Structure formats: C-alpha cells, structure tokens
Amino acid sequence: MTQEFILETRGLTKQFRGFTAVDDVNLQVREGHIHALIGPNGAGKTTVFNLLTKFLPPTRGEILYRDKPITGMKANEIARMGLVRSFQISAVFAHMTALENVRVALQRPIGTSFHFWKSERTLEHLNERAIELLDEVGLRDYADVLTMEMPYGRKRALEVATTLAMNPTLMLLDEPTQGMGAEDVDRIVELIRRVAKGRTVLMVEHNLSVVSRLCDRITVLARGAVLAEGDYETVSADPQVREAYMGSEAAIEEARA
C-alpha cells in the first residue's frame, strides 16, 4: 500500500494541559484526492490541521508524507517539500502588491533571499511567472494593486496563487470559503477544483455544500476523534454523524438538495 497514501497519521494525539484536543487520529489521504476534514465546532479540526502543518508539535503519534516520517520537521521545511498550507483568515502581505505577494513565494528557490546587498530589481525576471500565476486565478488585472485594497474574495484567490507558486504536491486549505458571500464561494470552489488537478488537497471546511460538491473523501471529527470516514453519501447517512451534527442536520439536507 505504499505510495497510495500521500499523507498519513498514526495515533496522532495532542493534549493541552490534560485536555485532549486530538485523540488518536489515524488519517489517510489518498494521492490525487480532494479530502475534507469536517466536524462540529470544537471537534479539533484546526488543531489537526496545525499538527499536520507543523505549526503545533504533537504530544504523541506519527505523521508520514509519502511513507516518510515528517513528525519532527519544522513548518518551513515541510513547505519546501511541497506541503503548503493556507490560513483561515486570508493570509496575504497587505502592504505589497498582488504581484509582489506571489513573487515572495517564487524568490526563495533562486537562493538570493539573504542577499541584502543586491537590488530588488534582480527579482524582476520572476514577474512574468508571477503574472501567469495571477492569471490562473483571474487576478491579472490586480497585479499592480496593493493587497490591502483588494476585496476579500480576491485576497483569497491571491492566496491560492501564492500557494501555487510553491508548486505544491499537497495543498492544505484551512476553511477556504470562510466569511464569503455566495458568489465568492462559487468562484473559490471552481478555483479549487481547477488547481486540484494533478495535486492532492486536504481541506478543513464548514460549508457542507462546498464539501459535497468538491470532495472525494471526507473524515468527520468529533471531540478530537475520528467519527466516520467515506464519501459524502456514506458519511451523511451515518447516524452517528447525524447525531454529532444535531441541529445542523438541516444543513446536511440542504446541501443534498
């Protein structure tokens, strides 16, 4: 079963002063899938996410990327391996233009990022590639705009372009549609579908309609543990999941319709 799973966790556990936020989670993400991590509030989704991206150290357990343990690695190191994350609140560099945002992601591999004696004009050969990436997310016309002046939905698209600049094999998206209006949600769903081709995506998502439209496989977390796993049909029919989501059952029905 080697190479089948691009990302795997074994007995992943995180405790905060005796409180177990994540309890013995065994997660398997298949190469090429769009995999969703869902669950009611406080289920530990964001904690799992932060463990996977190394923003938090686990108390116990192992994380494997292509069968190689990455448990002890640093956040910036796994980013270089192609596991690139996004953030719940749009993570952009506000006082830089859209183009500069993308260029920051492109400049690291050329190896001059510590060169404080060189002009930033030495980075201009990256502009063309940066504009291509902006074009890919429909932001070509924004290349020159300061990010802080862009509307929210566009900032999220810019974040995707910046992430793509890293040429990720596995994209980890933390609630990519959070705080968006319906129109923006549709645009981002389309965007994710498009950029996920040839890649693997693991996303935390609240919006079940997004999950049902996009995801190949779903893991449901509740109280820090895996409650159910499968495709949308399987998971949404699971009585335990329905119970965990009690009150938001209507949301499931709505998404199905």
Partner 1 sequence: MATTQTLTPSMKRERRASLRRNVFYLVLIAIGLVAPFVAYPVFLMKVLCFALFACAFNLLLGYAGLLSFGHAAFLATGGYVTGYLLASYPALTPELGMLIGTAAAVVLGAIFGALSIRRQGIYFAMVTLALAQLVFFFYIQAPFTGGEDGLHGVPRGHLLGIVDLRSNLAMYYFVFAVFLFGFALIQRTVHSPFGQVLKAIRENEPRAVSLGYNVDAYKLVAFILSAGLAGLAGSTKTVVFQLASLTDAHWHMSGEVILMTLLGGVGTLFGPVVGAGLVVSLQHLLAQSPLGNWVGPILGVIFVICVLSFRSGIVGEAMKMYRKNFK
Residues 6+ apart with CB under 8 A from 95: 146, 147, 148
Contact present, 87 and 64 (Cβ < 8 Å): no
Q: Which of 80, 193, 194, 256 binds partner 1 (CB under 8 A)?
A: 80
- Interaction of residue 76 with partner 1, rule CB under 8 A: yes
Work out how close the CB of 203 gets to partner 1 at its nearest, in angstroms, rounded to a whole number: 15
Nearer to partner 1, 145 or 225 (CB): 145
Window 196-225: residues binding partner 1 (CB under 8 A): none
Our CB check for partner 1 shows the closer of 33 and 103 to be 103
Span near partner 1 by CB under 8 A; candidates 107-115, 192-200, 232-240, 248-256: 107-115
- What's the chain's Rg over C-alpha atoms? 19
Distance between CA 131 and CA 175 in Å, rounded?
26
Residues 22-61 close enough to bind partner 1 by CB under 8 A: 53, 55
Report the residue number, 113 or 234, with the smaller CB distance to partner 1. 113
* Residue 10 β-bridge partners: 62
Site residues (CB under 8 A) for partner 1, limited to 140-199: 143-144, 162, 166
Mapping DSSP to helix (H, G, I), strand (E, B) and coil, where does residue 257 land?
Answer: coil
Bridge partners of 65, per DSSP, are 7, 68
CA–CA gap between residue 96 and residue 200 (Å, rounded): 29
Considering only the stretches 23-31, 72-80, 234-242, 245-253, report the one whose residues sit in contact with partner 1 under the rule CB under 8 A. 72-80
In this complex, which beta carbon is closest to partner 1, that of residue 144 or of residue 183? Answer: 144
The residue from 64, 73, 104, 225 that contacts partner 1 (CB under 8 A) is: 104
Question: Which residues contact residue 112 at a Cβ distance below 8 angstroms, ignoring those fewer than 6 apart?
Answer: 118, 122
Q: Tell me the site size for partner 1, rule CB under 8 A.
A: 46
Burial of 26 (0-12, 13-18, 19+ CB in 10 A): middle
Question: For strand 170-174 and strand 28-30, is the pairing parallel, antiparallel, or unpaired?
Answer: unpaired
Residue with tokens 């309890």: 23
Q: Which residues bind partner 1 (CB under 8 A)?
A: 53, 55, 74-77, 79-80, 84-87, 91-97, 99-100, 103-105, 107-108, 112-120, 122-125, 127-128, 131, 143-144, 162, 166
